[in-house]
Amino acid sequence: MHSSASDGTDPPAEVMRRAALAGLDVVALTDHDTVAGLPEARAAAGPVALLPGMELSCRLEGRSVHMLAYLFDPDQPELAAELARIRDDRVLRARAMVDKLADLGVDISWEQVAAIAGEAVVGRPHIARAMAASGAIASPREAFTRDWIADGGRAYVDRYALDPVRAIGLVRAAGGVAVLAHPRAGRDTWVTDQQITRLAAAGLAGVEVFHPDQSDAERARLLALASDLSLAATGGSDDHGSLTDYRLGSETTPANAYHALIARAASSLCRRTSLVVPLRQELQPGDLFSCRNSGRPRTG
């Protein structure tokens, strides 16, 4: 799930409040290329266990690919440096898109977009909101077409993104696990069976099967592939607040997949004793065991 630390519409505390209302036991906050929302989310967690997470922007053979990362140490120097580079480039890219929109007659400024983003990692939804506020489009969602700022659109600008194999390596080196996000949710982020097989060989821990934008047929194909490759088959709502019609809890991760990810991160943790302290701060061991005892952990 996403918060206003990236392109979600709700602050982290509000996201956690909705997670509790949805009856979820475990959630992961996976803002794009930042962990800035985690402290507020942790403080507001209440009865809901919080997995530290992030969604890394990657590119594979010209296509945008999203890599979910869980249970990593965000202060690991190499990972932190890459995150800073990705975020810096997001600003350059957003400015370039605003310039292109101006050429197309859309009257918005970078200052307006920056004001909407506030402290958040700037992204296309912030530009979309500025476009709607200017009257150029009726709602932010209309910005995501080829006419405007969808991938390949008239005002779209590419940005720096990680090779997914490198992303997997960075996350693992920081003690975490990497899960391929929504590989069949749309043409622009499509990942083939062969590509997933190569990522599995590079240390991928799981693949997101249960996602609102993935068809039953693709879920079945991904489940079979995950089983063949020994990947955890995860699920999540990919909630972005009002941008995605408040769907937190609409998809969940099966208990076996959740435990497989925890076990994989824990074995990495054992090899990296320096991570004991930061991980304990994020996720209390009792959270895990209480989930195991209650039988059916569900993550949003």
- What angle do helix axes 124-134 and 110-117 make, rounded to 10 degrees? 120
Q: Which is nearer to Zn ion, 181 or 275 (CB)?
A: 181
Q: State the minimum distance, in angstroms, from the CB of residue 110 to Zn ion.
A: 24
Each residue 14-53 as x (binds Zn ion by CB under 5 A) or -, in order, gives ----------------------------------------
Closer to Zn ion by CB, 120 or 181: give it: 181
Rounded CA separation 213/194 (Å): 21
**Neighbouring residues of 273: CB distance < 8 A, sequence distance ≥ 6:** none
* Other beta carbons within 10 Å of 41: 27
Choose one: 116-124, 145-153, 180-188, 199-207; the region binding Zn ion (CB under 5 A).
180-188
**Phi, psi angle pair for 4, to nearest 5°:** -70, 0
Contact with Zn ion (CB under 5 A): which of 16, 136, 181, 196?
Answer: 181
- The angle at the Cα of 222, spanning 216 to 260, to the nearest 5 degrees, equals 120
What's the N-to-C CA distance of the chain in angstroms? 7
- Using CA atoms, how far apart are residues 152 and 148, in angstroms rounded to an integer? 9
Q: Which stretch binds Zn ion (CB under 5 A): 58-66, 90-98, 150-158, 244-252?
A: 58-66
**Stretch 91-130 residues interacting with Zn ion (CB under 5 A):** none
**Nearer residue to Zn ion within complex by CB, 66 or 264:** 66
Total binding residues toward Zn ion, as defined by CB under 5 A: 2
The least CB distance from residue 295 to Zn ion, in Å, is 29
Residue with tokens 């909101």: 129
Nearer to Zn ion, 237 or 268 (CB): 237
Residue with smaller CB distance to Zn ion, 3 or 268: 3
Q: Could you give the 3-state DSSP secondary structure of residue 247?
A: coil
Q: How far apart are CA 148 and CA 196, in angstroms?
A: 30
Stretch that binds Zn ion, among 60-68, 100-108, 139-147, 204-212 (CB under 5 A): 60-68
Binds Zn ion (CB under 5 A): choice among 66, 172, 219, 240: 66
Tally of helices (H runs) and strands (E runs) in the chain: 11, 6
Closer to Zn ion by Cβ: residue 89 or 272: 89
Q: Residues interacting with Zn ion, by CB under 5 A? A: 66, 181
